[in-house]
Chain A
Amino acid sequence: MSAIVLSNVSRWFGNVVAVNDVTMTIGPGVTGLLGPNGAGKSTLIHMMGGFLAPSTGSVTLDDEPTWRNERLYRRIGLVPEREAMYDVVTGWEFVLANARLHRLPDPAGAARTALATVEMTNARDRQIATYSKGMKQRIKMASALVHDPPVLLLDEPFNGMDPRQRLSLMDLLHTMGEQGRTVLFSSHILEEVEQIAGSIQVMVAGRHAASGDFREIRRLMTERPHQYTIRSSDDRALASMLIADASTQGVQVLTQNTKTPGTDPEGLRVQAVDFARFVRVLPWYARERGIRLFEVSPADESLESVFSYLVTR
Protein backbone atom coordinates (compact mmCIF):
# COMPACT_ATOMS: atom_id res chain seq x y z
CA MET A 1 0.00 0.00 0.00
CA SER A 2 1.61 3.21 -1.14
CA ALA A 3 0.58 6.83 -0.93
CA ILE A 4 1.72 9.87 -2.83
CA VAL A 5 1.54 13.01 -0.75
CA LEU A 6 1.75 16.52 -2.14
CA SER A 7 1.91 19.31 0.35
CA ASN A 8 1.69 22.96 -0.65
CA VAL A 9 3.21 22.20 -4.01
CA SER A 10 3.71 24.98 -6.52
CA ARG A 11 5.61 24.88 -9.75
CA TRP A 12 6.31 27.75 -12.06
CA PHE A 13 8.13 28.04 -15.36
CA GLY A 14 9.52 31.54 -15.65
CA ASN A 15 6.50 33.80 -15.18
CA VAL A 16 3.95 31.06 -15.75
CA VAL A 17 2.52 29.33 -12.72
CA ALA A 18 1.66 25.79 -13.79
CA VAL A 19 0.72 24.42 -10.39
CA ASN A 20 -0.42 26.68 -7.59
CA ASP A 21 -0.29 25.57 -3.94
CA VAL A 22 -1.69 22.06 -4.33
CA THR A 23 -2.10 19.73 -1.38
CA MET A 24 -3.45 16.25 -1.99
CA THR A 25 -2.96 12.64 -1.03
CA ILE A 26 -3.28 9.85 -3.56
CA GLY A 27 -3.89 6.54 -1.85
CA PRO A 28 -4.55 2.97 -3.03
CA GLY A 29 -7.29 2.47 -5.62
CA VAL A 30 -7.94 4.33 -8.84
CA THR A 31 -7.79 8.11 -8.73
CA GLY A 32 -8.69 10.29 -11.69
CA LEU A 33 -6.91 13.58 -12.16
CA LEU A 34 -9.45 15.65 -14.04
CA GLY A 35 -9.04 19.04 -15.63
CA PRO A 36 -9.01 20.90 -18.94
CA ASN A 37 -5.87 21.06 -21.06
CA GLY A 38 -3.24 23.29 -19.53
CA ALA A 39 -4.57 22.89 -16.00
CA GLY A 40 -1.29 21.53 -14.73
CA LYS A 41 -2.12 17.81 -14.77
CA SER A 42 1.01 16.80 -16.64
CA THR A 43 3.15 19.01 -14.45
CA LEU A 44 1.70 17.30 -11.38
CA ILE A 45 2.32 13.84 -12.81
CA HIS A 46 5.86 14.78 -13.75
CA MET A 47 6.50 15.91 -10.20
CA MET A 48 4.97 12.72 -8.79
CA GLY A 49 7.15 10.71 -11.14
CA GLY A 50 10.29 12.55 -10.10
CA PHE A 51 10.92 14.28 -13.42
CA LEU A 52 10.36 17.78 -12.18
CA ALA A 53 11.23 19.44 -8.91
CA PRO A 54 8.49 21.39 -7.17
CA SER A 55 9.34 25.08 -6.97
CA THR A 56 8.01 25.07 -3.42
CA GLY A 57 6.40 22.40 -1.25
CA SER A 58 7.14 18.69 -1.24
CA VAL A 59 6.14 15.64 -3.27
CA THR A 60 6.74 12.33 -1.54
CA LEU A 61 6.00 8.67 -2.13
CA ASP A 62 5.80 6.79 1.17
CA ASP A 63 7.64 9.65 2.87
CA GLU A 64 10.51 9.69 0.39
CA PRO A 65 10.93 12.68 -1.92
CA THR A 66 10.37 11.73 -5.56
CA TRP A 67 12.81 14.24 -7.06
CA ARG A 68 16.30 12.93 -7.83
CA ASN A 69 15.52 9.62 -6.20
CA GLU A 70 16.23 6.91 -8.74
CA ARG A 71 15.61 4.03 -6.34
CA LEU A 72 11.97 5.01 -6.20
CA TYR A 73 11.40 3.74 -9.74
CA ARG A 74 11.35 0.21 -8.35
CA ARG A 75 7.94 1.15 -6.96
CA ILE A 76 6.63 3.40 -9.74
CA GLY A 77 5.32 2.43 -13.13
CA LEU A 78 5.01 5.35 -15.48
CA VAL A 79 2.95 5.61 -18.66
CA PRO A 80 3.97 8.87 -20.36
CA GLU A 81 1.66 10.87 -22.57
CA ARG A 82 4.05 11.12 -25.48
CA GLU A 83 4.02 8.28 -27.90
CA ALA A 84 7.70 7.97 -28.76
CA MET A 85 9.36 4.69 -27.88
CA TYR A 86 12.32 2.86 -29.29
CA ASP A 87 10.56 2.30 -32.58
CA VAL A 88 13.13 0.08 -34.23
CA VAL A 89 12.67 -2.76 -31.74
CA THR A 90 9.74 -5.15 -31.42
CA GLY A 91 7.18 -4.95 -28.64
CA TRP A 92 8.71 -8.00 -27.00
CA GLU A 93 12.24 -6.59 -27.13
CA PHE A 94 11.05 -3.28 -25.73
CA VAL A 95 9.23 -4.76 -22.75
CA LEU A 96 12.10 -7.18 -22.15
CA ALA A 97 14.58 -4.29 -22.22
CA ASN A 98 12.46 -2.50 -19.62
CA ALA A 99 12.47 -5.63 -17.45
CA ARG A 100 16.25 -5.89 -17.75
CA LEU A 101 16.71 -2.21 -16.94
CA HIS A 102 14.85 -2.91 -13.71
CA ARG A 103 17.27 -5.83 -13.14
CA LEU A 104 14.47 -8.23 -12.44
CA PRO A 105 15.53 -11.78 -11.52
CA ASP A 106 13.50 -13.27 -14.40
CA PRO A 107 13.18 -10.55 -17.06
CA ALA A 108 11.77 -12.84 -19.75
CA GLY A 109 9.10 -14.21 -17.41
CA ALA A 110 8.16 -10.73 -16.25
CA ALA A 111 7.96 -9.45 -19.83
CA ARG A 112 5.72 -12.40 -20.82
CA THR A 113 3.39 -11.74 -17.89
CA ALA A 114 3.20 -8.02 -18.64
CA LEU A 115 2.46 -8.61 -22.33
CA ALA A 116 -0.23 -11.13 -21.44
CA THR A 117 -1.80 -8.65 -19.00
CA VAL A 118 -2.24 -6.09 -21.77
CA GLU A 119 -3.19 -8.78 -24.32
CA MET A 120 -0.31 -8.06 -26.66
CA THR A 121 1.17 -11.55 -26.75
CA ASN A 122 0.12 -12.18 -30.35
CA ALA A 123 1.60 -8.99 -31.74
CA ARG A 124 4.74 -9.00 -29.63
CA ASP A 125 7.16 -9.81 -32.44
CA ARG A 126 6.21 -6.89 -34.66
CA GLN A 127 8.20 -3.68 -34.71
CA ILE A 128 6.74 -0.96 -32.53
CA ALA A 129 6.71 1.39 -35.51
CA THR A 130 4.02 -0.80 -37.13
CA TYR A 131 1.65 -0.69 -34.13
CA SER A 132 -1.59 1.25 -34.00
CA LYS A 133 -2.02 3.96 -31.40
CA GLY A 134 -3.94 1.68 -29.08
CA MET A 135 -1.33 -1.06 -29.37
CA LYS A 136 1.43 1.41 -28.57
CA GLN A 137 -0.54 2.48 -25.55
CA ARG A 138 -0.76 -1.12 -24.41
CA ILE A 139 2.97 -1.69 -24.91
CA LYS A 140 3.63 1.44 -22.86
CA MET A 141 1.34 -0.03 -20.23
CA ALA A 142 3.20 -3.36 -20.32
CA SER A 143 6.54 -1.63 -19.87
CA ALA A 144 5.16 0.23 -16.86
CA LEU A 145 3.77 -2.96 -15.32
CA VAL A 146 6.73 -5.21 -15.97
CA HIS A 147 8.24 -4.80 -12.50
CA ASP A 148 4.87 -5.16 -10.77
CA PRO A 149 4.92 -1.70 -9.16
CA PRO A 150 2.60 -0.70 -6.33
CA VAL A 151 2.20 2.75 -7.89
CA LEU A 152 1.06 3.43 -11.43
CA LEU A 153 1.03 6.92 -12.97
CA LEU A 154 -0.66 7.38 -16.34
CA ASP A 155 -0.70 10.64 -18.27
CA GLU A 156 -3.78 10.88 -20.53
CA PRO A 157 -3.86 7.12 -21.18
CA PHE A 158 -7.15 7.19 -23.11
CA ASN A 159 -6.07 9.73 -25.70
CA GLY A 160 -6.55 8.41 -29.20
CA MET A 161 -8.06 5.10 -28.15
CA ASP A 162 -11.11 3.63 -29.80
CA PRO A 163 -14.09 2.70 -27.59
CA ARG A 164 -13.16 -0.97 -27.37
CA GLN A 165 -9.57 -0.26 -26.37
CA ARG A 166 -10.86 2.30 -23.92
CA LEU A 167 -13.07 -0.29 -22.27
CA SER A 168 -10.31 -2.84 -21.96
CA LEU A 169 -7.91 -0.28 -20.46
CA MET A 170 -10.64 0.75 -18.03
CA ASP A 171 -11.03 -2.88 -17.00
CA LEU A 172 -7.30 -3.19 -16.54
CA LEU A 173 -7.02 -0.05 -14.43
CA HIS A 174 -9.98 -1.18 -12.39
CA THR A 175 -8.28 -4.52 -11.71
CA MET A 176 -5.06 -2.77 -10.75
CA GLY A 177 -6.95 -0.64 -8.27
CA GLU A 178 -8.73 -3.68 -6.83
CA GLN A 179 -5.36 -5.30 -6.26
CA GLY A 180 -4.52 -2.48 -3.88
CA ARG A 181 -2.25 -0.53 -6.17
CA THR A 182 -2.17 3.22 -6.16
CA VAL A 183 -3.31 4.12 -9.68
CA LEU A 184 -3.45 7.72 -10.83
CA PHE A 185 -4.48 8.74 -14.34
CA SER A 186 -5.14 12.11 -15.86
CA SER A 187 -7.93 12.96 -18.25
CA HIS A 188 -9.92 15.94 -19.44
CA ILE A 189 -13.09 13.91 -19.97
CA LEU A 190 -15.43 13.50 -17.01
CA GLU A 191 -17.13 10.41 -18.43
CA GLU A 192 -13.82 8.54 -18.56
CA VAL A 193 -12.96 9.45 -15.03
CA GLU A 194 -16.27 8.69 -13.42
CA GLN A 195 -16.48 5.21 -14.89
CA ILE A 196 -13.41 3.87 -13.16
CA ALA A 197 -12.08 6.31 -10.63
CA GLY A 198 -13.09 5.80 -7.03
CA SER A 199 -11.99 9.29 -6.25
CA ILE A 200 -11.42 12.34 -8.37
CA GLN A 201 -9.07 15.28 -8.05
CA VAL A 202 -10.04 18.25 -10.18
CA MET A 203 -7.41 20.71 -11.37
CA VAL A 204 -8.29 24.04 -12.97
CA ALA A 205 -5.73 26.62 -14.06
CA GLY A 206 -3.05 25.20 -11.80
CA ARG A 207 -5.28 25.08 -8.76
CA HIS A 208 -6.73 22.12 -6.93
CA ALA A 209 -10.41 22.89 -7.54
CA ALA A 210 -12.22 19.94 -6.01
CA SER A 211 -11.70 16.45 -4.79
CA GLY A 212 -13.80 13.55 -3.73
CA ASP A 213 -16.38 11.11 -4.96
CA PHE A 214 -17.42 11.33 -8.62
CA ARG A 215 -21.14 11.68 -7.80
CA GLU A 216 -20.45 14.83 -5.86
CA ILE A 217 -18.47 16.31 -8.71
CA ARG A 218 -21.01 15.24 -11.29
CA ARG A 219 -23.75 17.00 -9.30
CA LEU A 220 -21.71 20.18 -9.05
CA MET A 221 -21.20 20.17 -12.76
CA THR A 222 -24.78 19.58 -13.88
CA GLU A 223 -26.44 21.85 -11.37
CA ARG A 224 -24.49 24.91 -12.26
CA PRO A 225 -26.36 27.70 -14.18
CA HIS A 226 -26.22 27.21 -17.96
CA GLN A 227 -26.07 30.04 -20.44
CA TYR A 228 -27.71 29.93 -23.84
CA THR A 229 -27.66 32.19 -26.85
CA ILE A 230 -30.92 32.12 -28.80
CA ARG A 231 -31.89 33.72 -32.11
CA SER A 232 -35.50 33.63 -33.19
CA SER A 233 -38.08 35.38 -35.39
CA ASP A 234 -39.34 37.42 -32.41
CA ASP A 235 -36.72 37.75 -29.71
CA ARG A 236 -38.64 40.11 -27.43
CA ALA A 237 -41.82 38.05 -27.37
CA LEU A 238 -39.81 34.96 -26.56
CA ALA A 239 -37.89 36.83 -23.86
CA SER A 240 -41.06 37.87 -22.08
CA MET A 241 -42.22 34.26 -21.86
CA LEU A 242 -38.90 32.88 -20.80
CA ILE A 243 -38.40 35.34 -17.96
CA ALA A 244 -41.87 34.43 -16.69
CA ASP A 245 -40.82 30.79 -16.41
CA ALA A 246 -39.15 29.46 -13.26
CA SER A 247 -36.42 27.74 -15.20
CA THR A 248 -34.62 31.00 -15.98
CA GLN A 249 -32.85 33.53 -13.88
CA GLY A 250 -32.18 36.25 -16.40
CA VAL A 251 -32.82 37.13 -20.04
CA GLN A 252 -30.90 39.77 -21.90
CA VAL A 253 -31.91 41.13 -25.30
CA LEU A 254 -28.82 41.70 -27.37
CA THR A 255 -29.25 44.77 -29.57
CA GLN A 256 -27.36 45.91 -32.61
CA ASN A 257 -25.20 48.99 -32.41
CA THR A 258 -26.79 51.19 -35.11
CA LYS A 259 -23.47 52.75 -36.13
CA THR A 260 -21.81 49.44 -36.88
CA PRO A 261 -24.58 47.06 -37.93
CA GLY A 262 -23.72 43.42 -38.22
CA THR A 263 -20.77 43.40 -35.84
CA ASP A 264 -22.50 42.58 -32.54
CA PRO A 265 -24.32 39.36 -31.80
CA GLU A 266 -28.08 39.52 -32.06
CA GLY A 267 -30.69 37.60 -30.12
CA LEU A 268 -31.15 36.62 -26.49
CA ARG A 269 -28.80 35.56 -23.78
CA VAL A 270 -30.59 33.36 -21.29
CA GLN A 271 -29.35 32.23 -17.92
CA ALA A 272 -31.06 28.92 -17.12
CA VAL A 273 -31.02 27.64 -13.57
CA ASP A 274 -33.12 24.53 -14.13
CA PHE A 275 -31.41 23.06 -17.12
CA ALA A 276 -33.74 20.09 -17.61
CA ARG A 277 -36.91 22.16 -17.44
CA PHE A 278 -35.51 24.89 -19.64
CA VAL A 279 -34.75 22.65 -22.58
CA ARG A 280 -38.27 21.21 -22.34
CA VAL A 281 -40.24 24.47 -22.15
CA LEU A 282 -38.29 26.48 -24.74
CA PRO A 283 -39.61 24.71 -27.87
CA TRP A 284 -43.06 24.47 -26.35
CA TYR A 285 -43.31 28.27 -25.83
CA ALA A 286 -41.94 28.98 -29.29
CA ARG A 287 -44.48 26.74 -30.91
CA GLU A 288 -47.39 28.21 -28.96
CA ARG A 289 -46.60 31.73 -30.17
CA GLY A 290 -45.55 30.72 -33.66
CA ILE A 291 -41.99 31.94 -33.11
CA ARG A 292 -39.33 30.30 -35.22
CA LEU A 293 -36.10 29.37 -33.46
CA PHE A 294 -33.05 29.99 -35.68
CA GLU A 295 -30.37 29.15 -33.21
CA VAL A 296 -30.12 27.75 -29.70
CA SER A 297 -26.59 27.28 -28.51
CA PRO A 298 -25.02 26.84 -25.13
CA ALA A 299 -22.78 29.86 -24.60
CA ASP A 300 -20.31 28.48 -22.12
CA GLU A 301 -20.17 24.74 -22.53
CA SER A 302 -16.40 24.72 -22.93
CA LEU A 303 -14.65 22.57 -20.37
CA GLU A 304 -12.79 25.59 -19.17
CA SER A 305 -16.00 27.29 -18.12
CA VAL A 306 -17.43 24.14 -16.58
CA PHE A 307 -14.33 23.74 -14.48
CA SER A 308 -13.94 27.38 -13.63
CA TYR A 309 -17.43 27.33 -12.21
CA LEU A 310 -16.12 24.76 -9.75
CA VAL A 311 -13.36 27.12 -8.66
CA THR A 312 -15.56 30.17 -8.26
CA ARG A 313 -18.57 28.55 -6.68
Chain B
Amino acid sequence: MNGVVARLTLRSLLGRRRAILLACLPALLLLMAVAIRWMAGPDDDLAGNVLGHLVAGTMIPLLALIAGTGAIGPEIDDGSIIYLLSKPLSRYRIAVTKFVAATGVVLVFGVVPTLIAGYVLTGQVSRLALGFTLGATAAGTAYCALYLALAVLSRHAVVIGLLYAVVWESIIGGFVPGAQALSVQQWAMSLTQRVIGDQAAELGAKAAVGLSTGVVLLSVVTVASVWYTGWRLRGLRLTGDE
Protein backbone atom coordinates (compact mmCIF):
# COMPACT_ATOMS: atom_id res chain seq x y z
CA MET B 1 0.00 0.00 0.00
CA ASN B 2 1.05 3.55 -0.64
CA GLY B 3 -0.97 6.41 0.81
CA VAL B 4 -0.23 8.90 -1.95
CA VAL B 5 -1.13 6.46 -4.71
CA ALA B 6 -4.33 5.55 -2.86
CA ARG B 7 -5.34 9.17 -2.45
CA LEU B 8 -4.63 10.06 -6.08
CA THR B 9 -6.57 6.99 -7.22
CA LEU B 10 -9.56 7.75 -5.02
CA ARG B 11 -9.58 11.36 -6.13
CA SER B 12 -9.74 10.42 -9.76
CA LEU B 13 -12.30 7.67 -9.05
CA LEU B 14 -14.59 9.90 -7.03
CA GLY B 15 -13.59 13.33 -8.31
CA ARG B 16 -15.71 15.62 -10.39
CA ARG B 17 -19.12 14.04 -10.94
CA ARG B 18 -18.03 10.43 -10.87
CA ALA B 19 -19.15 9.86 -7.28
CA ILE B 20 -22.70 10.81 -8.28
CA LEU B 21 -22.55 8.36 -11.15
CA LEU B 22 -21.35 5.61 -8.84
CA ALA B 23 -24.14 6.40 -6.39
CA CYS B 24 -26.90 5.95 -9.01
CA LEU B 25 -27.00 2.15 -8.89
CA PRO B 26 -27.10 1.78 -5.08
CA ALA B 27 -29.65 4.60 -4.88
CA LEU B 28 -31.86 2.70 -7.32
CA LEU B 29 -31.45 -0.47 -5.27
CA LEU B 30 -32.39 1.25 -2.03
CA LEU B 31 -35.38 2.98 -3.64
CA MET B 32 -36.63 -0.33 -4.97
CA ALA B 33 -36.09 -2.00 -1.61
CA VAL B 34 -38.07 0.68 0.21
CA ALA B 35 -40.86 0.60 -2.40
CA ILE B 36 -41.17 -3.19 -2.29
CA ARG B 37 -41.15 -3.25 1.47
CA TRP B 38 -43.80 -0.53 1.57
CA MET B 39 -46.08 -2.31 -0.90
CA ALA B 40 -45.48 -5.97 -0.07
CA GLY B 41 -44.08 -6.00 3.46
CA PRO B 42 -41.09 -8.16 4.46
CA ASP B 43 -40.88 -10.99 1.96
CA ASP B 44 -37.90 -13.38 1.70
CA ASP B 45 -38.78 -14.64 -1.79
CA LEU B 46 -38.93 -11.13 -3.22
CA ALA B 47 -35.78 -10.16 -1.33
CA GLY B 48 -33.88 -13.14 -2.75
CA ASN B 49 -35.07 -12.25 -6.23
CA VAL B 50 -34.09 -8.58 -6.00
CA LEU B 51 -30.71 -9.21 -4.36
CA GLY B 52 -29.90 -12.08 -6.69
CA HIS B 53 -30.66 -10.27 -9.92
CA LEU B 54 -30.04 -6.64 -9.11
CA VAL B 55 -27.10 -6.95 -6.73
CA ALA B 56 -25.23 -10.10 -7.70
CA GLY B 57 -26.15 -10.01 -11.39
CA THR B 58 -25.95 -6.31 -12.21
CA MET B 59 -24.85 -3.83 -9.58
CA ILE B 60 -21.69 -5.47 -8.27
CA PRO B 61 -20.25 -6.36 -11.70
CA LEU B 62 -20.97 -2.88 -13.02
CA LEU B 63 -19.61 -1.02 -10.00
CA ALA B 64 -16.48 -3.16 -10.02
CA LEU B 65 -16.10 -2.55 -13.74
CA ILE B 66 -16.23 1.21 -13.20
CA ALA B 67 -13.96 1.13 -10.15
CA GLY B 68 -11.52 -1.54 -11.36
CA THR B 69 -10.87 -0.11 -14.81
CA GLY B 70 -11.26 3.47 -13.59
CA ALA B 71 -8.54 2.99 -10.97
CA ILE B 72 -5.85 2.76 -13.63
CA GLY B 73 -7.26 2.88 -17.18
CA PRO B 74 -7.60 6.65 -17.62
CA GLU B 75 -4.08 7.21 -16.27
CA ILE B 76 -2.66 4.81 -18.83
CA ASP B 77 -4.75 6.36 -21.61
CA ASP B 78 -3.69 9.94 -20.95
CA GLY B 79 -0.14 9.03 -19.95
CA SER B 80 -0.26 10.54 -16.47
CA ILE B 81 0.69 7.17 -14.95
CA ILE B 82 4.24 8.13 -15.87
CA TYR B 83 4.32 10.22 -12.70
CA LEU B 84 3.74 7.08 -10.62
CA LEU B 85 6.05 4.91 -12.66
CA SER B 86 8.95 7.37 -12.64
CA LYS B 87 9.33 6.87 -8.91
CA PRO B 88 11.39 4.37 -6.94
CA LEU B 89 8.22 2.47 -6.06
CA SER B 90 7.58 -1.23 -6.42
CA ARG B 91 5.13 -1.84 -9.25
CA TYR B 92 3.46 -4.54 -7.20
CA ARG B 93 2.85 -2.04 -4.45
CA ILE B 94 1.17 0.29 -6.95
CA ALA B 95 -0.99 -2.61 -8.17
CA VAL B 96 -2.02 -3.64 -4.66
CA THR B 97 -2.87 -0.04 -3.74
CA LYS B 98 -5.01 0.46 -6.83
CA PHE B 99 -6.75 -2.84 -6.13
CA VAL B 100 -7.49 -1.88 -2.52
CA ALA B 101 -8.77 1.55 -3.56
CA ALA B 102 -11.09 0.07 -6.20
CA THR B 103 -12.35 -2.59 -3.80
CA GLY B 104 -12.94 0.06 -1.15
CA VAL B 105 -15.12 2.00 -3.58
CA VAL B 106 -17.15 -1.15 -4.33
CA LEU B 107 -17.52 -1.85 -0.61
CA VAL B 108 -18.90 1.62 0.06
CA PHE B 109 -21.10 1.95 -3.03
CA GLY B 110 -22.05 -1.72 -3.46
CA VAL B 111 -21.69 -3.87 -0.39
CA VAL B 112 -23.00 -1.49 2.27
CA PRO B 113 -26.14 -0.68 0.22
CA THR B 114 -26.63 -4.43 -0.26
CA LEU B 115 -26.70 -4.98 3.48
CA ILE B 116 -29.11 -2.09 3.98
CA ALA B 117 -31.35 -3.26 1.12
CA GLY B 118 -31.34 -6.79 2.58
CA TYR B 119 -32.33 -5.41 5.94
CA VAL B 120 -35.10 -3.29 4.47
CA LEU B 121 -36.46 -6.11 2.32
CA THR B 122 -36.46 -8.84 4.97
CA GLY B 123 -37.18 -6.66 7.97
CA GLN B 124 -34.17 -7.94 9.93
CA VAL B 125 -30.45 -8.64 9.70
CA SER B 126 -31.37 -11.98 8.19
CA ARG B 127 -29.16 -14.76 6.92
CA LEU B 128 -30.44 -13.81 3.48
CA ALA B 129 -29.17 -10.24 3.84
CA LEU B 130 -25.85 -11.39 5.28
CA GLY B 131 -25.44 -14.08 2.63
CA PHE B 132 -25.86 -11.66 -0.25
CA THR B 133 -23.64 -9.11 1.49
CA LEU B 134 -20.84 -11.65 1.83
CA GLY B 135 -21.35 -12.74 -1.76
CA ALA B 136 -21.22 -9.12 -2.91
CA THR B 137 -17.98 -8.58 -0.97
CA ALA B 138 -16.32 -11.64 -2.48
CA ALA B 139 -17.55 -10.95 -5.99
CA GLY B 140 -16.67 -7.26 -5.76
CA THR B 141 -13.13 -8.07 -4.65
CA ALA B 142 -12.52 -10.61 -7.43
CA TYR B 143 -14.15 -8.45 -10.11
CA CYS B 144 -12.04 -5.43 -9.10
CA ALA B 145 -8.83 -7.45 -9.37
CA LEU B 146 -9.90 -8.91 -12.69
CA TYR B 147 -10.93 -5.59 -14.21
CA LEU B 148 -7.78 -3.90 -12.93
CA ALA B 149 -5.68 -6.52 -14.73
CA LEU B 150 -7.84 -6.09 -17.80
CA ALA B 151 -7.22 -2.34 -17.74
CA VAL B 152 -3.43 -2.75 -17.86
CA LEU B 153 -3.78 -5.41 -20.53
CA SER B 154 -6.02 -3.62 -22.98
CA ARG B 155 -7.27 -0.16 -23.81
CA HIS B 156 -10.68 -1.69 -24.43
CA ALA B 157 -10.99 -3.02 -20.89
CA VAL B 158 -14.44 -1.53 -20.33
CA VAL B 159 -15.89 -3.16 -23.43
CA ILE B 160 -14.27 -6.51 -22.72
CA GLY B 161 -15.39 -6.35 -19.10
CA LEU B 162 -18.95 -5.56 -20.14
CA LEU B 163 -18.92 -8.43 -22.62
CA TYR B 164 -17.72 -10.77 -19.91
CA ALA B 165 -20.28 -9.64 -17.36
CA VAL B 166 -23.24 -9.44 -19.72
CA VAL B 167 -22.60 -11.93 -22.49
CA TRP B 168 -20.64 -14.63 -20.67
CA GLU B 169 -22.10 -14.55 -17.18
CA SER B 170 -25.69 -13.67 -17.98
CA ILE B 171 -26.48 -14.86 -21.48
CA ILE B 172 -24.15 -17.79 -22.17
CA GLY B 173 -24.26 -18.78 -18.49
CA GLY B 174 -28.05 -18.89 -18.80
CA PHE B 175 -28.02 -21.42 -21.62
CA VAL B 176 -24.79 -23.35 -21.21
CA PRO B 177 -24.47 -24.76 -17.68
CA GLY B 178 -20.75 -25.40 -18.13
CA ALA B 179 -20.10 -21.67 -18.60
CA GLN B 180 -21.37 -21.04 -15.09
CA ALA B 181 -18.41 -22.89 -13.63
CA LEU B 182 -16.22 -20.09 -14.98
CA SER B 183 -18.15 -17.18 -13.54
CA VAL B 184 -17.16 -14.91 -10.68
CA GLN B 185 -20.84 -14.44 -9.94
CA GLN B 186 -21.35 -18.17 -9.41
CA TRP B 187 -18.24 -18.56 -7.29
CA ALA B 188 -19.43 -15.79 -5.00
CA MET B 189 -22.93 -17.29 -4.99
CA SER B 190 -21.46 -20.41 -3.38
CA LEU B 191 -20.65 -18.27 -0.34
CA THR B 192 -24.11 -16.74 -0.30
CA GLN B 193 -25.65 -20.19 -0.55
CA ARG B 194 -23.65 -21.48 2.40
CA VAL B 195 -24.57 -18.54 4.65
CA ILE B 196 -28.29 -18.73 3.83
CA GLY B 197 -28.31 -22.49 4.41
CA ASP B 198 -31.03 -25.00 3.45
CA GLN B 199 -33.49 -22.54 1.94
CA ALA B 200 -30.90 -21.01 -0.36
CA ALA B 201 -32.07 -22.73 -3.54
CA GLU B 202 -35.71 -21.66 -3.07
CA LEU B 203 -34.59 -18.06 -2.48
CA GLY B 204 -32.66 -17.93 -5.74
CA ALA B 205 -29.19 -18.37 -4.25
CA LYS B 206 -28.23 -21.60 -5.98
CA ALA B 207 -24.60 -21.68 -7.04
CA ALA B 208 -23.26 -23.73 -9.94
CA VAL B 209 -20.09 -24.62 -8.05
CA GLY B 210 -19.38 -25.96 -4.57
CA LEU B 211 -18.16 -23.77 -1.72
CA SER B 212 -14.54 -24.91 -1.74
CA THR B 213 -14.27 -24.62 -5.52
CA GLY B 214 -15.79 -21.15 -5.33
CA VAL B 215 -13.46 -19.94 -2.60
CA VAL B 216 -10.35 -21.36 -4.25
CA LEU B 217 -11.21 -19.92 -7.67
CA LEU B 218 -12.08 -16.50 -6.20
CA SER B 219 -8.76 -16.38 -4.36
CA VAL B 220 -6.74 -17.57 -7.32
CA VAL B 221 -8.32 -15.07 -9.71
CA THR B 222 -7.90 -12.20 -7.24
CA VAL B 223 -4.27 -12.88 -6.35
CA ALA B 224 -3.25 -13.75 -9.90
CA SER B 225 -4.92 -10.63 -11.33
CA VAL B 226 -3.27 -8.26 -8.86
CA TRP B 227 0.09 -9.94 -9.36
CA TYR B 228 -0.32 -9.73 -13.13
CA THR B 229 -1.18 -6.03 -12.86
CA GLY B 230 2.07 -5.36 -11.01
CA TRP B 231 4.10 -7.47 -13.40
CA ARG B 232 2.58 -5.75 -16.39
CA LEU B 233 3.25 -2.31 -14.88
CA ARG B 234 6.96 -3.19 -14.68
CA GLY B 235 7.09 -3.33 -18.44
CA LEU B 236 4.29 -0.99 -19.39
CA ARG B 237 5.14 0.58 -22.70
CA LEU B 238 4.61 4.30 -22.59
CA THR B 239 4.79 5.50 -26.12
CA GLY B 240 4.23 9.16 -26.64
CA ASP B 241 2.46 10.63 -29.61
CA GLU B 242 5.30 9.70 -31.89
Contact = CB atoms under 8 A, between A and B. Distances in A.
A89 B12 CA distance: 9
A53 B239 CA distance: 12
A82 B87 contact: no
21 contacts: A18-B242, A42-B240, A46-B240, A51-B85, A51-B237, A68-B234, A70-B88, A73-B88, A78-B86, A80-B79, A80-B82, A80-B240, A84-B79, A85-B83, A89-B8, A98-B83, A101-B5, A101-B87, A102-B87, A143-B83, A155-B240
A11 B235 CA distance: 15
Nearest to B80: A84
A81 interface: yes
B176 interface: no
A43 B91 contact: no
A150 B82 CA distance: 19
A155 B241 CA distance: 11
B4 interface: yes
Interface string A67-87: 010111110101011101110
Interface string A26-68: 0000000000011001110010010111000000000000001
Given A51-B82, A88-B15, A101 B238 contact: no
A157 to B, nearest CB: 13
B84 interface: yes
Given A70-B91, A73-B86, A85-B83, A97 B4 contact: yes
Interface string B1-37: 0111101100110011000000000000000000000
Interface residues of A, number: 35
Contacts of B86: 49, 73, 76, 78
A278 B63 CA distance: 71
Interface in B118-156: none
Nearest to B234: A68
Given A53-B235, A86-B80, A101 B89 contact: yes
Contacts of B239: 42-43, 46, 52
B90 A70 contact: yes
Contact of A68 (B15, B89, B235): B235
Contacts, number: 86
B241 A81 contact: yes
Q: Counting chain B CB atoms within 10 Å of each CB, which of A51, A68, A98 scores highest? A: A51
Interface string B42-83: 000000000000000000000000000000000000111011
A100 interface: yes
Interface string A188-222: 00000000000000000000000000000000000
Nearest to A53: B235
Interface string A282-310: 00000000000000000000000000000
Contact of B79 (A49, A82, A89, A97): A82
Nearest to A99: B4
A88 B12 contact: yes
Q: Counting chain B CB atoms within 10 Å of each CB, which of A42, A49, A68, A97 scores highest? A: A97
Nearest to A75: B88
Given A82-B78, A85-B80, 6 more contacts: A73-B87, A74-B88, A80-B79, A80-B82, A98-B87, A103-B88
Given A68-B235, A70-B90, A101-B5, A42 B242 contact: yes
A70 B8 CA distance: 20
A84 B78 contact: yes
Contacts of B78: 82, 84
A70 B242 contact: no
A100 B11 CA distance: 16
A51 B85 CA distance: 9
A49 B237 CA distance: 12
Contacts of A102: 87-88
A71 B240 contact: no
